[in-house]
A and B are shown apart, each in its own frame.
Chain A
Amino acid sequence: MKTNDVILQTVTKVTLFIIILFSIHLFFAGHYYPGGGFIGGLMTSGAIVLLLLAFDIKTVKSILPIDYIKLTAIGLLFAIGTGAGALLFDMPFLTHAYTYVNMPLLGKTSLHTAVLFDTGVYLVVIGVTMTIIQTIGESE
């Protein structure tokens, strides 16, 4: 895909960060408002796809030198690790815990192990989507 679309490229540069920020917001908001690992991950990969459309694959690879298959594996490890962590406390697999902490500046904040699990989901979704798109794109 050799394109030279100045408008698309400029717009992409600006919107990309907005989308990624929004996706991260979606991810963290997941426990309370619509969002979560799946949506956040998809949104992030949507942003990268946009980048792919505006620039070519090689450029994107040099900007984001990530091995998406490894990312998938790390994500799976996160999810399984969080689940297995419960075993250490003699709880059934995948038991989550949470607590509320008063943090400076942020005020009352909740800490969840579920977020770790969701991080796994988030990483896997990005990894999978990007692996698929990248491999298909590169095979041309």
Chain B
Amino acid sequence: MEILMAFLVGILFMTATYLMLSKSLLRIIIGTGLLSHGAHLLLLTMGGLKRGAAPLLGENAPAYADPLPQALILTAIVISFGVTAFFLVLAYRAYQELGTDNMDRLRGKEGHE
């Protein structure tokens, strides 16, 4: 399963990178979204998969899934939500002000260093 997940993470990173390199702002934002999904799965995979019960002591299981990556991912999910929202609004405002979401045309004013 870990091997399979590693390849899945690779695919997510690849598509994310490709999207982030494109011109359209929306595609860049979707790219960052995919990137964070990939990163979350990567973290989870690194901790080992299916090694025990959910990390709740109430389960009284002999072994538990690694709680640390889960805590890290929980933080990361919420942060990536905040960043995505911020990014979205940035794109939306840029579009309103400049009339384009094409990265090549978002060049600031002429003669501005």
Q: Is the CB of A132 within 8 A of B85?
A: yes
Name the distance in Å between A84's Cβ and chain B's nearest Cβ. 21
9-residue interface stretch from A1-9, A32-40, A86-94:
A32-40
A135 to B88, CA, bound (A): 12
Give A125's nearest chain B residue, CB to CB.
B78
Task: Please report the number of residue pairs spanning A and B whose Cβ atoms sit closer than 8 angstroms.
Answer: 17
Q: Are A38 and B74 in contact (CB under 8 A)?
A: yes
B85 contacts across to A, CB distance below 8 A: 132
- B56 is an interface residue with CB less than 8 A from chain A: yes
Q: How many residues on the B side are at the interface (Cβ–Cβ under 8 A)?
A: 10
Q: A132-B85, A136-B89 are in contact. Are A38 and B56 (CB under 8 A)?
A: no
Q: Which of B63-113 contact A (CB under 8 A)?
A: 74, 78, 82, 85, 88-89, 92
Decide if B74 touches A34 in the complex (CB within 8 Å): no
Could you tell me which B residues sit within 8 Å of A by CB distance?
54, 56, 58, 74, 78, 82, 85, 88-89, 92
- Chain A positions within 8 Å of B, measured between CB atoms, are 32-34, 38, 42, 125, 128, 132, 135-136
